[in-house]
């Protein structure tokens, strides 16, 4: 049986300064532009390498009919570009893509919606784009509306929808209309937890129906739950491909970061150290059963008001486990005098699950001005399981984010 999707030696080149492509109408715009400017672009590609970059290089893979594949990687790895090519929104510069079946895409909130049309009209428009008859669309219409929970607003132009309403209707249309291939990019990144669970449940249902699913997400729990296979993209190339569990583990290992050289001279701020201290010494290996401190040593050249400084703690899958700033509970700590300072965040023992973590420093002024723009200050640490934890010593980091060290009462 021929695969539902065949990708062969696909590369995508963009030229800096030619303008960003938008989701709606970008394929037509790109076709016309490339036709008119092709000779010029060819010369630029030959003599002006600095004016172009390759978002994808030499990508090849197959997706079987009825298979669910995840595409993962850091921001800028080429994931969204790959999905736009699969969705026929943009063309590859080199290589070929063969799609065997109708494609339903949810690449951005409301991609394919006309803002002036009502929710009802957009449902029929998207169905028509997929080649469905009005009778076929009407057969799915009530199910779409129930899922999206926008009954009262069906005859309102979607430009007046909240982002949550927009997302719910966009996902419902993409998931319920009859396409053999469903492509979804970060559908779990917006909306409350209840709706995210609803989306994931629907995608599993689509997969069980035998339709082909391509799924991009930074939520590795969702990828592991939904996908049987996965591709890891790094700098526009395939870094790993195979069973989803194995590729996700490879991605987790790739997230380990090199430590920063101090001091870091940033605008209006010098960071002298980001220390991880346990038992009185700086370390990258944490005993999960004992408390430890995160210490930021910094210097201000002048008095600063409305300073927000703290850390983000992410696990090996990129999930944010903790976010804490020293003025979260005391606004008096937002106004800091010039000079050298030490900020300390104390972590209790028996909190973090065993595994690899990245601790990243953040600093903002007036709530939005990033004082560390252009600098990434982070530490990689490994947390060992508490030796007295009654589970063989290990917790599956894919099933729990933290350990709760509290006493149970049993009557």
Write down the pLDDT at residue 38: 52
pLDDT, average across residues 270-276:
95
pLDDT, average across residues 76-101:
92
Structure confidence by residue, pLDDT tens digits, 140-192: 899 989 988 888 999 999 889 887 788 788 888 878 877 899 898 876 555 56
Structure confidence by residue, pLDDT tens digits, 110-148: 566 788 999 999 889 888 877 778 898 899 899 989 988
Three-class SS of residue 195? helix
pLDDT, average across residues 384-393:
57
Tokens standing for residue 359:
């601790």
- Please give the residue that has the higher pLDDT: either 339 or 224: 339
Write down the pLDDT at residue 46: 43
Torsion angle defined by CA atoms of residues 246, 251, 252 and 257, in that order, rounded to the nearest 10 degrees: 150
Q: Whose CA is closest to 115, among 178, 204, 15, 25?
A: 25
Domain ranges of the chain: 5-254, 264-384
* Packing angle of the helix pair 134-148, 119-129 (nearest 10 deg): 130
Q: How confident is the model at residue 213 (pLDDT cuts 50, 70, 90)?
A: very high
State the pTM of this model. Answer: 0.61
What radius of gyration, in Å, describes the C-alpha atoms of the chain? Answer: 25
**Two domains, one topology: 5-254 and 264-384:** no
Write down the pLDDT at residue 392: 43
Share of the chain above pLDDT 70, in %: 82
Report angle CA 49, 232, 84 to the nearest 5 degrees: 65
Structure confidence by residue, pLDDT tens digits, 238-247: 999 999 989 9
- Please give the residue that has the higher pLDDT: either 221 or 201: 201
Q: Whose CA is closest to 70, among 180, 174, 168, 182?
A: 182
Q: List the single range of 14-18, 198-202, 211-215 with lowest mean pLDDT.
A: 14-18
Q: How confident is the model at residue 6 (pLDDT cuts 50, 70, 90)?
A: very high
Structure confidence by residue, pLDDT tens digits, 42-58: 444 444 445 788 999 99
Whether the Cβ atoms of residue 217 and residue 223 lie closer than 8 Å to each other: yes
Report angle CA 18, 53, 77 to the nearest 5 degrees: 115
What superfamily in CATH does domain 264-384 come from? abc- transporter (atp binding component) like domain (2.70.50.60)
Tokens standing for residue 47:
């003599």
Rounded CA separation 398/224 (Å) = 9
Residue with tokens 């979260």: 328
Q: Provide the pairing of β-strand 378-384 with 285-287.
A: parallel
* Mean pLDDT over the full length of the chain: 82
Rounded CA separation 217/316 (Å) = 15
Task: Report residue 83 CA to chain centroid gap.
Answer: 14
Write down the pLDDT at residue 82: 95
pLDDT, average across residues 329-355:
88
CATH top-level class of 5-254: alpha beta
pLDDT, average across residues 386-401:
55
Q: Whose CA is closest to 178, among 133, 208, 215?
A: 133
| 259 has a pLDDT exceeding 50 | yes
| 28 has a pLDDT exceeding 80 | no
User: Hey, how many other C-beta atoms are within 10 angstroms of the C-beta on 84?
Assistant: 24
Whether the Cβ atoms of residue 314 and residue 342 lie closer than 8 Å to each other: no
Rounded CA separation 223/205 (Å) = 15
């Amino acid at each position: 049986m021929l695969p539902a999707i065949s990708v062969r030696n696909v590369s995508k080149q963009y030229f800096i300064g030619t303008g960003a492509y938008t989701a709606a109408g970008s394929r037509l715009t790109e076709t016309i532009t490339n036709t008119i400017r092709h000779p010029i672009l060819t010369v630029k590609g030959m003599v002006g390498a600095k004016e172009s970059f390759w978002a994808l290089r030499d990508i090849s893979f197959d997706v079987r009919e009825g298979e669910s594949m995840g595409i993962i990687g850091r921001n800028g790895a080429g994931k969204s570009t790959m999905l736009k090519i699969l969705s026929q929104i943009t063309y590859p510069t080199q290589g070929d893509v063969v799609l065997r079946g109708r494609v339903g895409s949810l690449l951005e909130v409301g991609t394919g919606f006309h803002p002036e049309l009502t929710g009802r009209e957009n449902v029929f428009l998207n169905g028509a784009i997929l080649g469905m008859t009005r009778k076929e669309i009407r057969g799915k219409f009530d199910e779409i509306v129930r899922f999206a929970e926008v009954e009262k607003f069906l005859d309102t132009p979607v430009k007046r929808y909240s982002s949550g309403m927009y997302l719910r209707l966009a996902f419902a249309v993409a998931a319920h209309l009859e396409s053999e291939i469903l492509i979804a990019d970060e559908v779990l990144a917006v909306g409350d937890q209840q709706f995210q669970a609803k989306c994931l449940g629907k995608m599993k249902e689509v997969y069980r129906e035998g339709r082909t699913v391509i799924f991009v997400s930074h939520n590795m729990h969702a990828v592991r739950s939904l996908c049987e296979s996965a591709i890891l993209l790094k700098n526009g190339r395939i870094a790993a491909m195979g069973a989803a569990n194995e590729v996700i583990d490879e991605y987790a290992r790739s997230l380990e970061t090199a430590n920063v050289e101090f001091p870091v001279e940033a605008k209006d701020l010098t960071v002298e150290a980001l220390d991880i201290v346990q038992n009185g010494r700086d370390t990258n290996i944490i005993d999960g059963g004992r408390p430890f401190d995160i210490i930021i040593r910094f210097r201000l050249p002048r008095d600063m008001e409305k300073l927000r400084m703290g850390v983000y703690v992410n696990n090996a899958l990129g999930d944010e486990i903790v976010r804490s700033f020293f003025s979260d509970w005391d606004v008096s700590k937002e106004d800091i005098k010039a000079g050298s300072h030490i900020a300390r965040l104390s972590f209790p023992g028996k909190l973090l699950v065993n595994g690899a973590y990245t601790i990243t420093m953040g600093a903002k002024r007036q709530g939005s001005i990033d004082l560390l723009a252009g600098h990434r200050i982070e530490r990689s640490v490994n947390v060992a399981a508490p030796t007295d934890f009654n589970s063989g010593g290990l917790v599956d980091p894919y099933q729990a984010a933290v350990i709760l060290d509290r006493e149970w009462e049993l009557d």
